[in-house]
Amino acid sequence: MTSQDFEDGLAAMETAARQAIAYRRDVAAAETTPVATYRQMLAAFDAPLPEGPGAPGEIIDDLITRATPGVRAATGPRFFGWVIGNSHPTGVAADWLASAWGQNVGNLTSAPAASAIETVAANWLLEILDLPREASVGYVTGATVANFVCLAAARSEVLARVGWDVEADGLIGAPPIRVLIGADAHATVFSGLKYLGLGTRRVVTVETDDLGRMLPSAFERAIKSGEGPVIAIAQAGQINTGASDPFDQIAPMAKAAGAWLHVDGAFGLWARAAPTRFDQLTGVDQADSWATDGHKWLQTPYDCGFAIVRDAEAHRRAMAISASYLPPAQGADREPSAYVPELSRRARGLGTWAMLRQYGRSGIAELVERGCRIARDMATALSHEPGIELVAEVVLNQFMVRFGDDDAATLATVERIQTDGVAFIGAATWRGLWVMRVSVSSAATTERDGEISIAAVLSAWRAVREP
């Protein structure tokens, strides 16, 4: 790289920063959120592989010009699709530094500051979620990988207890592991089972209630109906209803059966941080591992999730990497790569540390409470309209409604809302029927945005009902 290239690259960093700030101002104030399609974007970017070097300024200008029409306004105030946080500006700023500093958090020597920050933020996380303080925390890309990592620790430990070393000997010939899972578990938990050789079809499915919570009696039957190593997978925050499993009832049963209890709490675990929601998760701290996200309720930028394991030794056994060229951590120092699947990675923890400082305990509590309040108010207002049915009680920040008598009306209404662009809301199926599913998980959403969005939904539904 010539010194000119270097200076041009720095100028491109400035351009990107200026554009990013302008974008966030625009998207926060935008009345509608139209976005180009994937196909349109493919056409905008379609080009042959460059034969030689490019100029930094041109590359970044070109990226901004071509991409902006296809940037989904996920950080906007009326985005209720999936479960998406706001990529809060403070978290983004910390994340920029993570990239600019080019730190590889593969070991303590290669990234002293980032490693120390991750240690401190890990302790803060355990405190705010009120989980066992001795638990280990791995900074992963999201809850999918957090589930995988936690289940790897679970697999290691339940097999170790029957004398099998899965890290050394693999699964071939290993004692079979029974896996219990709620009927309304999130799809990504099955990814973890798939990666770990535990199979998605071999699970024992535990019956759930109308909010998707495991029935304690069904859990008891399932856990008592076999022998040998068991992993039970529960969840905090069902993706459609926001409801959590009855941990206070199932955790003692899991313990009595010698099972490892894992909790997928991608967003729902954050209810622990809000005093009025805390009760929904009573007993969750009795589990053995927890998966959660930073990029949902904590509002960090992507990629940010946490694999939290009570038995740090099992966590390390499943994940640690050693090689002669990697300096080992001294004494009790926390080796950042010992809790995640990868060696080289970016300083993911910076965004977490920054967001925990940004909000603090009271700020996060308020954020969770506000999301829940807006969700409840939106659901209540919509359910007063003829033809709109609230599908399940609203217990957290997620809710579902159906329009008219058939799936077609619901899908048409959702499509209409998306086309109108005042708010973004998606569809899902629940108990075999299509619903509109709303997730209030962004720090940008205010009560006023809730009201504007109610009006947008009603207008779309009336247009579908009376074309």
Ligand X SMILES: Cc1ncc(COP(=O)(O)O)c(C=O)c1O
Residues making contact with ligand X (CB under 6 A): 82-83, 142-144, 186, 188, 235, 237, 239, 264, 266-267, 293, 305
Q: What is the sign, positive or negative, of the torsion defined by CA atoms of 273, 279, 285, 291? A: negative
- Rounded to a whole number of angstroms, the minimum distance from the CB of residue 235 to ligand X is 6
- Rounded to a whole number of angstroms, the minimum distance from the CB of residue 277 to ligand X is 16
For residues 238 and 213, the answer to whether their CB atoms sit within 8 Å is yes
Judged by beta carbon, residue 231 or residue 456, the one nearer ligand X is 231
Contacts (Cβ under 8 Å, ≥6 apart) of 55: 8
| Identity of residue 150 | C
Judged by beta carbon, residue 189 or residue 257, the one nearer ligand X is 189
DSSP-based three-state secondary structure for 413: helix
Judged by beta carbon, residue 86 or residue 235, the one nearer ligand X is 235
- Rounded to a whole number of angstroms, the minimum distance from the CB of residue 48 to ligand X is 33
- Rounded to a whole number of angstroms, the minimum distance from the CB of residue 57 to ligand X is 34
- Rounded to a whole number of angstroms, the minimum distance from the CB of residue 258 to ligand X is 26
Judged by beta carbon, residue 186 or residue 346, the one nearer ligand X is 186
Query: Is 31 exposed, middle or buried, given 0-12, 13-18 or 19+ CB atoms closer than 10 A?
Result: exposed
For residues 457 and 413, the answer to whether their CB atoms sit within 8 Å is yes
- Rounded to a whole number of angstroms, the minimum distance from the CB of residue 303 to ligand X is 8
Q: How many CA atoms lie within 13 A of 420 on its CB side?
A: 22
Could you please report the per-residue DSSP string of 309-369? ES-HHHHHHHH----TTSPPPPTT---GGGGSS-SS---THHHHHHHHHHHHHHHHHHHHH
Which stretches of 207-309 are assigned E, i.e. beta strand?
A: 230-235, 260-264, 289-293, 305-309
Contacts (Cβ under 8 Å, ≥6 apart) of 298: 85, 270, 304, 352, 355, 356, 359, 364
Judged by beta carbon, residue 391 or residue 460, the one nearer ligand X is 391
Residue nearest to ligand X (CB): 142
Judged by beta carbon, residue 84 or residue 108, the one nearer ligand X is 84
Judged by beta carbon, residue 33 or residue 144, the one nearer ligand X is 144
Task: Tell me the C-alpha distance between 248 and 43, whole Å.
Answer: 53
- Rounded to a whole number of angstroms, the minimum distance from the CB of residue 237 to ligand X is 5
Other residues' Cβ atoms within 10 Å of the Cβ of residue 70: 16
Judged by beta carbon, residue 308 or residue 422, the one nearer ligand X is 308
- Rounded to a whole number of angstroms, the minimum distance from the CB of residue 144 to ligand X is 3
